[in-house]
Amino acid sequence: MTVDAGRRRLVLSAYVLVATVGAIITVLLPPTLRPFGYLLVGASSLVPSWVGLRPVPGRDRVAPVLVFGGLLVINVGSLFGAVQIDFTASRSQASLLFIMGGALGLLLAALRLVWMRGRGDIGGVLDAAVIGIGLVGLLWTLVLHRALVATGLPAGQQAATLFMLLCLTGSLGALIRVELISERPVVALRAFIVILVLSLIANLGQTLAHTTTVLVRPAWSDAVYLIAYAVTGAAVADPSIDAALRSGPPVRDRLTTARLIFLGAAIGITPIAAAVEQLTGQTVDMVLLAIETSVVLPLVMVRIGALSSQRERAERAFAHQAAHDALTGLPNRSQLLDRLETTLADPAATPTVLFCDLDGFKSVNDRLGHQAGDSLLQQVSARLLACIRPTDTVARYGGDEFVILCPDGADGLPDRIERALDEPFLVAGEAATVGVSVGVVRATPGMDADTVLRHADDAMYAAKSARREPAPLC
């Protein structure tokens, strides 16, 4: 971290400390003054979040914009509420709608962070989110729902509270997973984890406060919200936000037995708890079952889709590896035999096969080393590919041997190959030259693949012997 970045983090830490003290002082003010203290401390979060909007080449700007916009909307709602209390001594639902809208923007910013940072571990992120949702579903069934029923809170507000808690815990689980797989600590990610924890604490406290309306809530929860806003503003201004908005390290999606047990428990624990309530004659919260299912089901479907895509990619990779040479990427001997046999299955087919063996490759390999030899083979493969037509096949037969299958004849191809390989190759910083001996065989009806390749191999050795013979004296 640079000196300027260190200074910025120091200033941001000092800001969060001052805002925390201000939040505590706010809740100690008289009720008539408290909204203005809330507004003052909350509005201070706009300053660092505005700094977080600075343009940085290559950095995602959606999350910082969502944070600034969310905090701005929250503060508009706070201002509206302060004015209402000052002039009417009451507060309407309008200011609450602003604050809820702003909170939704902050939640979307956290989800954006999860998406940007956790793209290499979709499976793990989804699993963590589902586990978090399952835990809060159990907490709701055992504690929260009964408390809300006792206070007489309307069903609609119960559903809204439940939905917010599910979103918070799902996002919290996903962010924790993203932070755990990071190669090194990312302060901005940890800050957003703190923000979600604070929001969860404030929401749970408000839920358990036995109030009949969300407009009336414990004073301490206001302080917790204010601290969360301050940390949010500082998080997007922290130098580590650049790392938080870049893709994290790819993680192999391994659905282990332990993870399956956790997932199964997270998905099934709420319905099981509801069934126990039903059997014991208690009231079953059907709203929980409906909302939790509507939140978890899409996550599970995406999880299944990710596993299916991963399996398809693995199958394609295995199939490619089984049929292609690892060094050059060309079809290997097995794939060549399959294509040749398929071509020869047509009684009227008379394909041409060229068996190519490099001359002088061993001396280059011995002199410059195996890595240089591998590089030379890769360059030869590229030049051979440039010589053929789309219907032809170049395969690495083994070592420094290549075979070309031409279903429609090979007019002029041997000459093109020799001219292509006449040009020197740059390997290990040196110019290397190799020749090529080409054996050409045109298959006749009744030949099998082994016979054609054997004849082509014999023709190649005949061509190699002819290249070695000295020119006759005139």
Q: How far is the C-alpha of 188 from the C-alpha of 200, rounded, in Å?
A: 18
Question: For residue range 173-225, what is the model confidence (pLDDT) as tens digits?
Answer: 899 998 988 888 899 999 999 999 998 898 888 777 765 454 456 788 889 98
Place of tokens 């000052």: 86
For residue 24, give both structure tokens: 């505590």
Question: For residue range 117-127, what is the model confidence (pLDDT) as tens digits?
Answer: 888 888 888 88
Q: Residue 91: pLDDT band by 50, 70, 90 thresholds?
A: low
Pick the CATH number of 333-468 from 3.40.640.10, 3.40.190.10, 3.30.70.980, 3.30.70.270: 3.30.70.270
- Count of H-run helices and E-run strands, the chain: 18, 6
Question: For residue range 396-424, what is the model confidence (pLDDT) as tens digits?
Answer: 998 999 999 999 888 889 999 999 998 99
**For strand 401-406 and strand 352-359, is the pairing parallel, antiparallel, or unpaired?**
antiparallel
Spatial CA neighbour of 44 closest among 22, 67, 69, 77:
22
Is a pLDDT exceeding 60 seen at residue 86? no
Q: What pLDDT is stored for residue 439 in this prediction?
A: 93
In 152-186, alpha helices (H)? 155-180
* One-letter identity of residue 70: G
**Which residues are CB-neighbours of 86 under 8 A, at least 6 positions away?**
32, 35
Q: How far is the C-alpha of 408 from the C-alpha of 322, rounded, in Å?
A: 27
Domain boundaries, the chain: 3-319, 333-468
For residue 284, give both structure tokens: 């079953």
Q: How far is the C-alpha of 385 from the C-alpha of 323, rounded, in Å?
A: 17
Q: How far is the C-alpha of 202 from the C-alpha of 217, rounded, in Å?
A: 9
Spatial CA neighbour of 69 closest among 83, 55, 54, 49:
49
Spatial CA neighbour of 203 closest among 215, 191, 227, 221:
221
Hey, how many other C-beta atoms are within 10 angstroms of the C-beta on 114?
Answer: 24
* One-letter identity of residue 234: A
Say what the pTM is. 0.65
**For strand 393-398 and strand 401-406, is the pairing parallel, antiparallel, or unpaired?**
antiparallel
Q: Residue 230: pLDDT band by 50, 70, 90 thresholds?
A: very high
Q: What pLDDT is stored for residue 214 in this prediction?
A: 47
Q: How far is the C-alpha of 423 from the C-alpha of 416, rounded, in Å?
A: 12
The more confident residue out of 306 and 36 is 36
